[in-house]
Amino acid sequence: MKISVSILTLDFANVEKTFVPIAKDVDYIHMDIMDAEFVPNISFGYSVVGALRKLTNKPFDTHLMMMHPQNYIEQFVKAGSQYITFHVEADCDVMETIKLIKSFGIKAGISIKPKTSVEEIEKYLPYVDMVLVMSVEPGFGGQKFMESAIDKTKKLKELKEKNGYNYLINIDGGINGNTAPLISKYVDLAVSGSYICNADNPKERIEVLKNL
């Protein structure tokens, strides 16, 4: 299982010391973008993503929690994203948005909130490079893992193997040393935020997750 670190709860006042060492140890950097409309919170935007791009070569796995993701794809591509994932619950044409992301030569992902089923996105699965299963309600870091996400990752793995699909299975929310073993055999990568970023020794925690 690969690790994508969510930097939502990182100390941004000191990124050389907080961000750079973590970036060295993980596989992807997960950028949580919130618009105060799709979720009741605001995080950071493409100028911050672009600034962090100068500090690491690791792929950026950008997660748009936005009501109108289709209007901001180009900015997040220019800021240095390798994957852009948006929500199927957003106010956009899902197929057109997948095509738009891919038109920039990067990978496209779709994400589902806890109340959305895998069946609802089955028709898009042949066309995406990543499926992100939310294991918390999007909007805030540090929430409790919802076990209802486990079966969704299992189902996505079955569909992927049965049909020869190419997407990476990713999970986001409440991933730590206790919850990661519940999903590690189904997912290709997992997002972990506060468990890594708020630890005294982030490296040790990344190792715990990587060695499952």
Instruction: Choose the stretch contacting Zn ion; rule: CB under 5 A; options: 28-36, 37-45, 123-131, 177-185.
Output: 28-36
* Min separation Cβ 143 and ligand DX5, Å: 6
- Residue 26 as a binder of ligand DX5 (CB under 6 A): the answer is no
> What is the chain written as a DSSP string?
-EEEEE-TTS-GGGHHHHHHHHHHHSSEEEEEEEBSSSSS-B---HHHHHHHHTT--SPEEEEEE-S-GGGTHHHHHHTT-SEEEEETTSSS-HHHHHHHHHHTTSEEEEEE-TTS-SGGGGGGGGG-SEEEEESS-TT-SSPPPPTHHHHHHHHHHHHHHHHT--PEEEEESS-STTTHHHHTTT-SEEEE-HHHHTSS-HHHHHHHHHT-
Tell me which residue has its CB nearest to ligand DX5: 193
- Residue 32 as a binder of Zn ion (CB under 5 A): the answer is yes
- Residue 173 as a binder of ligand DX5 (CB under 6 A): the answer is yes
In the bound state with ligand DX5, the residue whose beta carbon lies nearer, of 8 and 206, is 8
Q: Is 61 a catalytic residue?
A: no
Applying CB under 6 A, which residues contact ligand DX5? Answer: 6, 8, 30, 32, 63, 136, 138-143, 172-175, 191-195
